Amino acid sequence: MRIYLQIPAIDEQPPRYCQFVLQEDLLGGWTLIKETGRQDGGGRIKRDYFASREEAERALMKARDAQVARGYRVVFVQGEQVR
């Protein structure tokens, strides 16, 4: 699953983005990849590991909700819809 969020450009600065990707690893665990940055440059990447899909989905939704509360808008969702 992938969720891409963006906050509009402010003044001369390019828009900021935030992307969350949920992936199953080879050992049956799950990785939540969080990438944030500005549209014109590189971003920061953080990976969190979870033993179950349910834990990873809860973390994904919590991270998404936190960014929406900060003013980001969901632009793109790919994969299964999660509550």
Answer yes or no: is pLDDT of 81 > 70.
no
Q: Is residue 72 part of a domain?
A: yes
69: domain CATH number is: 2.20.140.10
Q: Is residue 9 part of a domain?
A: yes
Measured distance CA(28)–CA(26) in Å, rounded: 6
Mean pLDDT over 17-30 rounds to 94
Nearest CA-CA partner of 73 in 83, 61, 62, 65: 65
Confidence of residue 75 (pLDDT cuts 50, 70, 90): very high
Q: Is residue 64 part of a domain?
A: yes
Q: Is residue 40 part of a domain?
A: yes
Q: Is residue 28 part of a domain?
A: yes
What is the DSSP secondary structure assignment for residue 14, as one 8-state letter? P
Domain count, the chain: 1
Q: Is residue 83 part of a domain?
A: no
Q: Give the structural domain span for 54.
A: 2-78
